[in-house]
Amino acid sequence: MAPALLLKGKSLLDDPLSLGITAETAVFKRLFARYHAQQAPIQLRARKANREVDLIAKIGS
């Protein structure tokens, strides 16, 4: 995670929800930046049972 994301201070690290949202946003931005030129669709799959989130970039056929 980029240091700029942690500028919010210690409160971000103490709040699991905010930290999760920040981490998901950072990963999405990285995937988008990497695959934008290839026009790869990015899917978000959230699973409520175990609070897991999958970000999937579909490339190729």
The pLDDT, as a whole number, for residue 9 is: 60
Q: Letter for the amino acid at 43? A: Q
The pLDDT, as a whole number, for residue 1 is: 52
The pLDDT, as a whole number, for residue 5 is: 55
CA atoms within 13 A on the CB side of 37: 3
The pLDDT, as a whole number, for residue 4 is: 57
Report H helices in 1-61: 10-14, 16-35
Domain spans of the chain?
3-57
pLDDT by residue for the chain (61 residues), tens digit each? 556 555 656 667 777 887 888 888 888 898 889 888 888 888 888 877 767 778 888 887 7
The pLDDT, as a whole number, for residue 2 is: 52
The pLDDT, as a whole number, for residue 53 is: 78
Which 8-state DSSP code applies to residue 18? H
